[in-house]
């Protein structure tokens, strides 16, 4: 336990002495290791550790927050008093909370904690991947390989009696390869990450990962300009989950809904998507990248159905927004670190599988674009308009995948995309691990979907 229970009790009491309605202690002990290999040389190998606590006090509609790196009783009490003063000055009665432990199952069991593995073993993974990427051929000119692991132990206690903890271990590996040819430089990237320890590499062959990155870069050397205009788009399994995360997931976060910054505000119970679409956010989905036992407010992770058969059923909630509406939270209160206040965030967000054969979806598409990998993008949550980069895409002609396309943008509107999905495959898969940014905070998330077709999206290519 990061902090003794008796100390927690005293800190919560100190936080409530000004008459606070609610007080919370969030303590965190995080360690991480990262290594990078560029062009055959290990450029960076670093480890770090960070410990501290954030104290939140709520009085009416006002929130006071303070954080400290001092986990002693004196340090915590000082932070608690500062948070209370920020919420409202003055004296008041003392409120005490009877703490009860919240037990939530871990999404996965860790077999090998990464901090027990020698750095030389981790570096060897980098070298193996580098060599495998270069074996693809002389056109591969640059290779970058990144390894990372982290262990985050948290404790949450509040004046409603919650006492909960979690031990979150994550391991990640990524390879980027650059190929050179007549069309210039082309990049291929592959990454894997899971809420697992070093046993991840019993499941994943880093040499296969590197070979796939190089193959993607080499394939793109023969790419033709992407078409320009509105065309049907087939999105490969797992590769388009980020589109749903950005284009509609953020719009289903209750804080944005409350600010009227979401195109989905006030639409619970309405048909907002094709009846083929069921959208879920699931923090219990181990060992995916966004899996947690509890959220950063001490509530057990949940599987939340957001859209059921096209109908908007609910939003995602943190404690504060749920309290304002007099309802239960959904396990979506998350924060980057003890130095941040929690807010509504996604965990693992995905579209459920349908019934169609993915190959048949392509055969039934006379002309269009097949997206095998999406890159970064941006979305206006108030309107739903988005722009995403296609980092691997192909032309569909006469029901067949033909020529690779150069990188181009995919432009559309989230609600419109949801409504215009006309076929959903039976081949669900999760995509690559990601970090979701919101209001200056980043948290790990996962996303995924089966192969599906959107009847029309605008491709910002250069072909005429």
pLDDT category of residue 85 using cuts at 50, 70 and 90? confident
Q: Read off the pLDDT of each residue in 30-39 and give the average, rounded to a whole number.
A: 95
Residue 15 has pLDDT above 90, yes or no: no
- Identify the pLDDT of residue 99: 65
And the tokens for 369? 């674009």
- Identify the pLDDT of residue 461: 65
- Identify the pLDDT of residue 44: 80
Residue 310 has pLDDT above 80, yes or no: yes
What is the gyration radius of the CA atoms in the chain, in angstroms?
24
Distances (CA, A) of 128 to 6, 118, 137, 207, 355: 50, 16, 16, 6, 39
Domain at 114-150+166-221, CATH homologous superfamily: PmbA/TldD superfamily (3.30.2290.10)
**Pairwise CA distance, residues 376 & 413, whole Å:** 16
* H helix intervals, 306-377: 319-325, 358-363
And the tokens for 189? 């990237």
Q: Which residues of 11-29 are buried (b: 16+ CB within 10 A; e: fewer)?
A: bbbbbbbbbbbbbbbbbbb
Its pTM surpasses 0.85: yes
pLDDT category of residue 86 using cuts at 50, 70 and 90? confident
Answer whether 99's CB lies under 8 Å from 161's CB.
yes
**Pairwise CA distance, residues 103 & 162, whole Å:** 10
3-class SS at 169? strand
**Pairwise CA distance, residues 55 & 58, whole Å:** 10
Q: Which long-range contacts (CB under 8 A, 24 or more apart) does 385-391 make?
A: 385/412, 385/413, 385/414, 386/243, 386/246, 386/247, 386/411, 386/412, 386/413, 386/414, 387/411, 387/460, 388/242, 388/243, 388/246, 390/226, 390/459, 391/187, 391/189
pLDDT category of residue 462 using cuts at 50, 70 and 90? low
Q: Which of 74-88, 402-416, 429-443 has the lowest mean pLDDT?
A: 74-88
pLDDT category of residue 246 using cuts at 50, 70 and 90? confident
What pLDDT digit, counting tens, does each position of 129-157 carry?
Answer: 999 999 998 899 999 999 999 999 999 99
Q: Read off the pLDDT of each residue in 30-58 and give the average, rounded to a whole number.
A: 93
Residue 287 has pLDDT above 50, yes or no: yes
User: What residue spans define the domains of the chain?
Assistant: 114-150+166-221, 228-460
Q: Please state, rounded to an integer, the average pLDDT across all residues of the chain.
A: 93
Q: At 446, phi and psi to the nearest 5?
A: -125, 160
Distances (CA, A) of 332 to 65, 290, 328: 19, 11, 11
């Amino acid at each position: 336990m990061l902090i003794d229970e008796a100390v927690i009790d005293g800190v919560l009491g100190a936080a409530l002495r000004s008459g606070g309605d609610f007080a919370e202690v969030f303590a965190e002990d995080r360690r991480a290791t990262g290594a990078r290999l560029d062009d055959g040389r290990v450029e960076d190998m670093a480890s770090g550790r960070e410990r501290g606590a954030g104290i939140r006090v709520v009085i009416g509609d006002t929130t006071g927050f303070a954080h400290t790196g001092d986990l002693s009783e004196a340090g915590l009490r000082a932070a608690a008093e500062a948070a209370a003063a920020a919420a409202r000055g003055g004296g008041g009665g003392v409120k005490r909370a009877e703490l009860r432990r919240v037990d939530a199952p871990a999404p996965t069991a860790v077999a090998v904690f990464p901090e027990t593995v020698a750095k030389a073993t981790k570096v060897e993974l980098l070298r193996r991947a580098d060599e495998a990427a270069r074996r693809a051929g002389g056109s591969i000119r640059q290779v970058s390989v990144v390894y990372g692991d982290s262990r985050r132990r948290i404790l949450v206690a509040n004046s409603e009696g919650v006492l909960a903890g979690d031990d979150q271990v994550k391991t990640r590996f990524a390879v980027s390869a650059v190929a050179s040819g007549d069309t210039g430089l082309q990049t291929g990237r592959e990454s894997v990450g899971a809420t697992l320890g070093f046993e991840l590499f019993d499941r994943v062959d880093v040499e296969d990962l590197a070979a796939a990155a190089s193959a993607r870069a080499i394939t793109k050397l023969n790419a033709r300009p992407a078409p320009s205009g509105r065309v049907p788009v087939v999105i490969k399994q797992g590769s388009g989950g980020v589109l749903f995360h950005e284009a509609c997931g953020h719009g289903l976060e209750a804080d944005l809904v409350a600010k009227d910054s979401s195109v989905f505000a006030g639409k619970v119970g309405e048909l907002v998507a094709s009846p083929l679409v069921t959208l879920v956010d699931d923090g219990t989905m181990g060992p995916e990248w966004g899996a947690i036992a509890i959220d950063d407010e001490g509530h057990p992770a949940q599987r939340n159905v957001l859209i059921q058969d096209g109908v908007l059923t609910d939003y995602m909630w943190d404690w504060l927004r749920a309290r304002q509406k007099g309802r239960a939270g959904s396990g979506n209160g998350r924060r980057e670190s003890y130095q941040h206040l929690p807010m509504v965030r996604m965990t693992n967000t995905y579209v459920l599988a349908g019934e169609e054969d993915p190959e048949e979806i392509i055969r039934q598409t006379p002309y269009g674009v097949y997206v095998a990998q999406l890159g970064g993008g941006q979305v206006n949550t108030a309107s739903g308009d988005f722009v995403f980069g296609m980092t691997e895409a192909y032309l569909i002609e006469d029901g067949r995948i033909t020529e690779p396309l150069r990188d181009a943008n995919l432009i559309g509107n989230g609600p419109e995309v949801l409504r215009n999905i006309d076929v959903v495959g039976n081949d669900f898969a999760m995509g690559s691990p990601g970090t979701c940014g919101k209001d200056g905070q980043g948290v790990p998330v996962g996303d995924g979907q089966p192969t599906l077709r959107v009847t029309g999206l605008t491709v910002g290519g250069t072909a005429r």
